[in-house]
Structure 1
Amino acid sequence: MSELEDAYRLDYFEEEGFTRQECASCGAHFWSRVERDTCGEPPCDDYAFIGNPGFDEAYTLEEMREAFLSFFEDNGHERIDPYPVAANRWRDDVLLTQASIYDFQPLVTSGETPPPANPLTISQPCIRMQDIDNVGKTGRHTMAFEMMAHHAFNTREDAADDYAYEGEVYWKDETVEYCDRFFEHMGVDPTDVTYIEDPWVGGGNAGPAFEVIYRGLELATLVFMSMEQDPDGEYEMKDGNRYSPMDTYIVDTGYGLERWTWMSQGTSTVYEAIYPEMIDFLTDHAGIDHSATEEELVREAARLSGYLDIDEVENLASARSQVADELGVDAARLSALLEPLEDIYAIADHCRTLAYMLGDGIVPSNVGTGYLARMVLRRTKRLVDGVGIDAPLDELVDMQAKRLGYTNRDTIRDMVRTEEGKYRKTLERGSRKVESIAEEYAARDEPIPRETLIELYDSHGIQPEMVADIARDHGARVDVPDDFYGLVAARHEGEGASEAAAERDDRLADLPETDRLFYDDQERTEFEAVVLDVFERADGYDVVLDQTMFYPEGGGQPADTGSLSTDETTVEVTDVQRRDGVVLHRTDGNPGKGEFVRGRVDAERRFSLMRHHTATHVIGYAARQVLGDHVRQAGAQKGTDQSRLDVRHFRRITREEVKAIERVANEVVTDNCQVTQEWPDRHEAEAKHGFDLYQGGVPPGQQIRLVHVEEDVQACAGTHVSRTGDIGAIKILKTEPIQDGVERIVFAAGEAAIEATQRTEDALYEAADVLDVSPAEVPETAERFFEEWKERGKQIDRLKEELAEVRAAAADADEVDVGGVSAVIRRMDADADELRATANAIVDGGAVAVLGSARGGSAQFVVGVPDDVAINAGEVVGRLAGQVGGGGGGPPDFAQGGGPDVDALDDALDDAPDVLRAIRNA
């Protein structure tokens, strides 16, 4: 008996006549109303619904979603709106939403906050990058999908007081009954449904679970999250760890919308069921037209395609051959028929994935969710070009964005076009690198390693298919793994997600949370408090007060500074931090535990930080107004003289856009609107304002502080001015890209903005004085001078070339014979450009050039060799430079180097003929 067998013995199963059985093929245990030899899931059983739909009527995606949600609404569940696919919008430990339970982790599942409803139902868009290589091939996998679900959050009676929800809503029996009833609601014979036991583990939790199979297809997963990892736990799960029951227990179900829709239509693959118009469009624009016999072969192959799961088969080709054998056709013929279709299926799915990603504001970049979006986009572009679809990629993505109802479709198309341009440049640069690597491994007679393939894609954006093509042309071997893109995605799915490791100081455990007075009156800078404790540190003291007006560092806002005074002493506060709710004031002295102190915050510094913090919100709001709703904060740092806001945007911010952002920001200032704060319930705030609330990070707790500035609303713990007019002028000092897809806006506010403007004006007037023109004439004059400078540079280059030719002609008298080859060996104390130009002129005349110079205080050599001369210039330079205490090198036809010993230059040139002869004769 398995350790969890009792957990699967449900009253509902007994009442409905289910029996526990063992699959004769795979050995899995399952529950069924009728006796069966096998569990019903491929490869134990084939699909039995293709060409034979499994429900009473056919449904579209939209109709199926509504049927599910309405059923559970009618059965006491509250429908809630889906969350974005970018899970890092509301949590900091993952990047993409991969299941509906992600919406409620970690705050709800831990019991820290209540769920938005209990029980609830939802249809949550998800993206699973690990499925990318299966898409198109299995007939059932999609990278983007909707997880229809119903959830219930329960606590054990003896622990109810410790959590934000209490009691049991429903548990295993009711969950299986709901599933059974929904099948019956769709017209299914319940005897055809099997429930396979498949214990679930993940994220330190575990529990029993069922895979629900109907006609060969897994349509639902019912997870009963009820255990937590414990070395001494009573249950050992399939990951090898032990687990114990936890106080909360949660119903976590998942019904794949796409698969239910597929089941209702019985099409050859899931893709024809969920993307019918797009599949027609793509096949038409790719010129694919199958005969009736070929269509039948495609259908039969789809029926058997459960074998093709890249995670579970060792080799895709062998699995494809197995399908071909069962169909009695040649594997090569089957592949030629299916592969173009598989690429079209993948294009349709990837375009939907991109519509979700870009529609939810993910900007393609080199990190985090941006990297994953870029990977999908570039793979899609490669597939589109490979199949030969005569339609632009942005149009294809827009088709899916339109169906999903996104209103920012122009921005989505713009992002796709911009990213395509970047990709073209990447390919131009990368092909040369691949050629070099291919030649290297061809010479070794070794295949290009998998890690090199992944690194070429990861660092240079070069897709493995391109590597394979170039490698073949250069005689190198490369084996592209079937799960290549899944391997790449796995390297990045945790990137940018933080692990919130709690660093708790045991000495603070017995202290109460510090009362933060600055939220009551942000302009107040003096207060009184009692010293609760003092901790001596290596560089001062950490003072804990019962209450404080000092703002602790956080959210990109520096800590306040100031002083604490008793009747006997005054200590300076140099830093303030918050740990586990306790505010620590770093001081240069000990005010004494139990003392009554008067605190004074540096008011001028506090007010400057307040102005810049509110200005940060205003700049972010203005950037979204000008650049688009996809703009989100990627980082921020407030200061007293200037601040910066990093925003996600897919191209450089232009000068005109900078002026527009500045104009909008200062309009908000002149409106002098009130800046307000409130502390609403988290779920109410999210429902009203969306997840754009969390521009600066996700705060903990059931209540969160919101700051309202004009139309901008953000969760924020910082200090702010009372009205936008208190900010003063806002001046953008510069913008710069800090990484691909992230633009930094540096700005100043209030007096700092005026001072920055004055510094710019001073520089302009100084330039005008130097040029002897008015300030208004500086740009035109500078441009004229620059063009004249460029023209003079060209004249100088021409004169240098002419001088080099004269020197080369005069060097005929210095020619020496080095084994049948003429060489010119000369010292000419010229700069590097002149040396190179002269060497080129000598080589053009058919001779080897060895030139030395001592200009600049060091010995320099330049060596040039004609193409038909067997002398390696890099080796010559290496030997000569070694004689002057240095080094150098380069390709066989041209090299340069040198060293610090100028006195040895002439001796080295004297030895040059022998060096040339030795290398020529080697």
Structure 2
Amino acid sequence: MFPEDAYHLEFFKDEGFTRKTCERCGGSFWTRDPSRTTCGDPPCDPYTFIGSPVFRREIGLDEMREHYLSFFEGKGHTRIKRYPVIARWRDDIYLTIASIADFQPFITSGEVPPPANPLTVSQPCIRLDDLDSVGRSGRHLTTFEMMAHHVFNTPEEEIYWKDRTVALCDELLLGLGADPLAITYKESPWAGGGNAGPSVEVMMGGLELATLVFMDMKLSPRGEHLIKGERYDRMDNYIVDTGYGLERFVWASRGSPTIYDAIFPDVVATITDLAGLQSSVSDEERARILASNARLAGMVDLEDATLRDLRGRVAKEIGISAEKLDEIITPLERIYAVADHTRCLAYMLGDGIIPSNVKAGYLARLVIRRTLRQMKDLSIEVPLSDLVSMQISRLDYTDLDGRLGTIVEILDQEEERYAETLEKGRRLVKRIAEGRGKRGETIPLSEMISLYDSHGIPPEIAREAALEEGVEVELPDNFYSRVASTHIKAEKLEKEESKIDLPETRRLFYERPFERKFQARVLGLVDGAVVLDQTLFYPEGGGQPGDRGLIRKGSGAFRVVDVQAAGRVVLHRIAEEESEAAAAEVRPGDFIEGEVDISRRLALARHHTAAHIIHDSAKKVLGSHIWQAGAQKAEDRARLDISHYKRITREELKEIELLANRMVMENIPISTGWLDRSEAEKRFGFELYQGGVPPGKSIRVVQMGTDVEACAGTHCTNTGMVGPIKVLRTERVQDGVERIEFAAGEAAVLRGQEKDDLLFGAAEALSVPAEQLPRTATRFFEEWKDLKKEAARLKEELARAQVESLTSRAIEAGDLKVVVATLENADVEELIKAASMISGKDYVAILGSEKEGAKIVAAVGKTGLARGLAAGEIVKAATKVVGGGGGGKPEIAQGGGPRAERLSEALEAGLAKVRAASGA
């Protein structure tokens, strides 16, 4: 694992610490207390700080955060602003799970310099791995602030390492009034995010307050060191990665029964009032129960122990029945969960996550629906948006910029969707349970997870619906945690990239984006593709197709049909029918002339630039939460997918189009250039990464007006060069993602002409000027509706007249009167109308028509229904004769078949069915 001297610090020696082995877990730890025999970490030690705070006075969240940051600023650290809770700068995780996540992978790898060194930050983090434990354990949170100080050491410069890190932690704790004998530093290997290193967990009163990691390893398949099942090698740089739990520090200072009572007592009180909760025990007794529950929950892992086990142990300790304990504590746990979850949603939605069925949006919806379920169980009837707004008002949020209205709208909409999901979900689960019940099976956990993932059906609702059908379900206490754990990490697209041992291709298209011809030297051929020392051909990327054109050598000209990047090398693929000739003609060392299809290049550049303009306009019209979810450009049109919580209206789309064209007419210069990643992020923030996170120390930044993005595509040099932009349509491609399709430049003119052709064609067909088309179409539509009503009235009159004639010729079958007839050229609607009128007079009707094949309708009056006669059975018997089928309700049914010549025979078969039923 790690060499023994990894933890032998001069600080421990100088301060009189002793290294000991815990008599319970066998782990090594450091302590000033010579009599201590346990490491201080539950379950080896219980919570002793509850009712007995470890610091000299109570400290609230804001004061504790400021005390921490100021302490480290005073020790030479630069305070930096928090990062968002959605990890926009990473493509491997969706949420910011730790302060070190702010700096992975580019800074921790040494590729990019840190924003400051050393630095301190208080970073809001979200972890949903223990979602089901929130509220129950007394200590788990979905959202917490990781106060931290970080140092990025290199072989050339060490700022400080292990000794000073532990010394600063010790000084901070003692300054808060901690008992030096109560502090233990437990040795623990750490790994996460592709890095690893030795660490010490800082324990007081049975509570882990901080973890001090000495990150000096990186993930490596053949690494020398095996840590938590994966192999690591030493890094050149080495990093101090610390994490101090703000909320835990506050809890330890107050010694309250739970962490929730410590960090938001006012929110807990408000939710308790809204729930109308009247406790059956005194405040003192309630505190005793909660303290016992928290102490024991700290000693067990709810992943391994069931909630029932925990209840039983707590009930035994305090001397009441498990049922009575459950009655007292369950509503409180739900209140704590709502308090925690609403703060989590305040951060999620405040930082721009849009609830959906994928990625970070999936996790936001998971938290929303679990919160709504808890609120329903507590009979809280205020909107969820009210509680989240209350949490936002408590947070130090200076960057909402009017986003609160959008957040309220999102939550109100999600609440409506949840209610619809419950109604549909119950019906679906009942159908599933019915089938399972017949086979004597339970509904397994895998199916419960599938019901949630595919249909959004909460497990509690699924269980209730299934139990109503007498079917059991497999539902563990940590259901939500299991679901969340499968969605926390981003799916990495495995792209096999062959390593080509050739020099980097110089990319002339950035230097001379609209030149058509260039000279280059052939470096080699790879699988039929030509590699040049420099090129004007743009390789496919960022939703922009690769260029096309020609490569000329002597008298030969070969068509380039695709261009791809393989690392730093550009591959020019020749048309298949010309590839053999090209391989024979074009050799390494040869000089060639390349010619790019410049009209195609210009069309793609216009559409790529227009995508930026449309995106910027959409943010101005729809809100700052808009984020690019995908894009594709072609010669004749392009599309942009954006995150949005509702359908884009026609008026909004027109406004987006208008703003986009205004930006074009303003002829704004477009600047492109390469910047160090850290400098680009400092100047423009993570809005840069709309199109994804590019690799490398330097990134290409494209700026046009207020839109700034990291983008490697080809663009116009000013917005006026784009030409007109025409929005063609919008559609919802998935929940929470809207697609805007548009055309730019010459393509926009052509699309406009196509629409004009449709308009003038319609006007010509109606013999009216185009400007009168809407009024004329409306008039024709109203006239058509009137005619349709008149046709329906005439059909009904005709049916009534026919009914009088038909019933006069009824056949008797026992005590039933039966009308059997063929109606000339009648459609199904007419047959149904006539049959319904006949059965309304207590007759049986069997009617047919030869219009477009055989059509048959049967209807049964009340006497026939009383005899058990069903219209569907009559139709089945009749349609069998004409080679078809049909069915319907007992009162009326319809069907047909292709063999119209046998219609009379079919109607007789239907009559025979009636005679058999009547006993005639």
**Same fold, TM-score > 0.5, yes or no:** yes
* Partner Cα separation in structure 2 for residue 610 and residue 67 of structure 1: 52
Q: Is the 8 A contact 1:46 1:304 kept in 2?
A: no
- Equivalent residue for 1:741? 736
779-788 or 847-856, which deviates more: 847-856
- Equivalent residue for 1:568? 555
* Partner Cα separation in structure 1 for residue 891 and residue 132 of structure 2: 46
- Matching residue's letter, 1:640: E
Aligned-residue identity in percent: 51
* Partner Cα separation in structure 1 for residue 102 and residue 345 of structure 2: 20
197-206 or 133-142, which deviates more: 197-206
Q: Is the 8 A contact 2:839 2:859 kept in 1?
A: no
- Equivalent residue for 1:99? 98
* Partner Cα separation in structure 1 for residue 233 and residue 885 of structure 2: 66
Structural mapping, 1:33-44, within 5 Å: 33-34=32-33, 35-44=35-44
Counterpart check, 1:59 vs 2:59: yes
Cα distance change of structure 1 residues 9 and 746 upon mapping to structure 2, 3 Å threshold: same
Structural mapping, 1:148-547, within 5 Å: 148-154=147-153, 157=155, 166-203=156-193, 205-228=195-218, 235-239=225-229, 241-290=230-279, 293-308=282-297, 311-404=302-395, 405=397, 406-407=400-401, 408-444=403-439, 446-478=441-473, 480-494=475-489, 497-499=490-492, 501=494, 503-506=496-499, 508=500, 510-536=501-527, 541-547=528-534
Deviation (angstroms), 1:848: 7.6
* Partner Cα separation in structure 1 for residue 727 and residue 8 of structure 2: 67
Cα distance change of structure 1 residues 192 and 607 upon mapping to structure 2, 3 Å threshold: same
Deviation (angstroms), 1:798: 5.8
Q: Is the 8 A contact 1:426 1:462 kept in 2?
A: yes
Cα distance change of structure 1 residues 385 and 791 upon mapping to structure 2, 3 Å threshold: farther
Q: Is the 8 A contact 2:884 2:896 kept in 1?
A: yes
- Matching residue's letter, 2:698: Q
Cα distance change of structure 1 residues 260 and 845 upon mapping to structure 2, 3 Å threshold: farther
Cα distance change of structure 1 residues 225 and 808 upon mapping to structure 2, 3 Å threshold: farther
Cα distance change of structure 1 residues 832 and 249 upon mapping to structure 2, 3 Å threshold: farther
Cα distance change of structure 1 residues 231 and 713 upon mapping to structure 2, 3 Å threshold: closer
- Equivalent residue for 2:71? 71
Q: Is the 8 A contact 2:2 2:198 kept in 1?
A: no
Cα distance change of structure 1 residues 514 and 860 upon mapping to structure 2, 3 Å threshold: farther
Deviation (angstroms), 1:7: 3.4
Deviation (angstroms), 1:206: 3.7
* Partner Cα separation in structure 1 for residue 293 and residue 702 of structure 2: 57
- Matching residue's letter, 1:265: R
Counterpart check, 1:700 vs 2:695: yes
Instruction: Look up the SS of the partner of 2:132 in the other structure.
Output: coil
- Equivalent residue for 2:775? 780
* Partner Cα separation in structure 2 for residue 920 and residue 376 of structure 1: 62
559-568 or 245-254, which deviates more: 245-254
Deviation (angstroms), 1:830: 5.3
1:646-671, CA deviations, whole angstroms, 9 ceiling, x for partnerless residues? Answer: 11111111122122212211221121
1:207-263, CA deviations, whole angstroms, 9 ceiling, x for partnerless residues? Answer: 333332211211112333344556765544443x55544444433322111111221
* Partner Cα separation in structure 1 for residue 779 and residue 531 of structure 2: 64
1:798-852, CA deviations, whole angstroms, 9 ceiling, x for partnerless residues? Answer: 666676777778479777869x999888777854545655666677667887777
Cα distance change of structure 1 residues 207 and 774 upon mapping to structure 2, 3 Å threshold: same
* Partner Cα separation in structure 2 for residue 23 and residue 847 of structure 1: 92
Gaps of 5+ in 2: none
* Partner Cα separation in structure 2 for residue 559 and residue 790 of structure 1: 52
* Partner Cα separation in structure 2 for residue 29 and residue 914 of structure 1: 92
- Matching residue's letter, 1:63: E
- Equivalent residue for 1:592? 586
Deviation (angstroms), 1:528: 1.0
869-878 or 827-836, which deviates more: 869-878
- Matching residue's letter, 1:604: S
Q: Is the 8 A contact 1:39 1:194 kept in 2?
A: yes
Q: Is the 8 A contact 1:310 1:316 kept in 2?
A: no
Deviation (angstroms), 1:350: 1.2
- Equivalent residue for 1:110? 109
Q: Is the 8 A contact 1:310 1:482 kept in 2?
A: no
- Return the TM-score normalized by structure 1: 0.89
1:478-513, CA deviations, whole angstroms, 9 ceiling, x for partnerless residues? Answer: 45421121222233334xx3425452324x1x2111
Instruction: Look up the SS of the partner of 2:774 in the other structure.
Output: helix
Instruction: Look up the SS of the partner of 1:145 in the other structure.
Output: strand
Deviation (angstroms), 1:205: 4.4
* Partner Cα separation in structure 1 for residue 235 and residue 873 of structure 2: 71
1:100-145, CA deviations, whole angstroms, 9 ceiling, x for partnerless residues? Answer: 2222222223333233233332222111122221111111111111
1:46-88, CA deviations, whole angstroms, 9 ceiling, x for partnerless residues? Answer: 322223222223222222222222222222333222221111x
Deviation (angstroms), 1:92: 1.4
1:652-708, CA deviations, whole angstroms, 9 ceiling, x for partnerless residues? Answer: 111221222122112211211211112121111111111111111111111111111
- The number of residue pairs the alignment matches comes to 900
104-113 or 136-145, which deviates more: 104-113
Instruction: Look up the SS of the partner of 2:486 in the other structure.
Output: helix
- Equivalent residue for 1:583? 570
Cα distance change of structure 1 residues 822 and 602 upon mapping to structure 2, 3 Å threshold: same
Instruction: Look up the SS of the partner of 2:91 in the other structure.
Output: coil
207-216 or 875-884, which deviates more: 875-884
Q: Is the 8 A contact 1:681 1:704 kept in 2?
A: yes
1:525-582, CA deviations, whole angstroms, 9 ceiling, x for partnerless residues? Answer: 221111111234xxxx311111111111111112221212222211122211111111
Structural mapping, 1:555-704, within 5 Å: 555-588=542-575, 589=578, 590=582, 591-593=585-587, 594-704=589-699
Cα distance change of structure 1 residues 863 and 434 upon mapping to structure 2, 3 Å threshold: farther
Instruction: Look up the SS of the partner of 1:130 in the other structure.
Output: coil
Deviation (angstroms), 1:592: 0.8
* Partner Cα separation in structure 2 for residue 863 and residue 20 of structure 1: 92
Deviation (angstroms), 1:291: 7.1
Instruction: Look up the SS of the partner of 2:203 in the other structure.
Output: strand
Gaps of 5+ in 1: 158-165
Q: Is the 8 A contact 2:669 2:717 kept in 1?
A: yes
Instruction: Look up the SS of the partner of 1:65 in the other structure.
Output: helix
- Equivalent residue for 1:133? 132
Q: Is the 8 A contact 1:307 1:313 kept in 2?
A: no
Q: Is the 8 A contact 2:816 2:918 kept in 1?
A: no
* Partner Cα separation in structure 1 for residue 683 and residue 829 of structure 2: 66
Instruction: Look up the SS of the partner of 2:611 in the other structure.
Output: helix
- Matching residue's letter, 1:578: A
* Partner Cα separation in structure 1 for residue 123 and residue 49 of structure 2: 26
* Partner Cα separation in structure 1 for residue 189 and residue 872 of structure 2: 65
- Give the root-mean-square deviation of aligned CA atoms: 3.5
Q: Is the 8 A contact 2:887 2:894 kept in 1?
A: yes
Instruction: Look up the SS of the partner of 2:559 in the other structure.
Output: strand
- Return the TM-score normalized by structure 2: 0.89
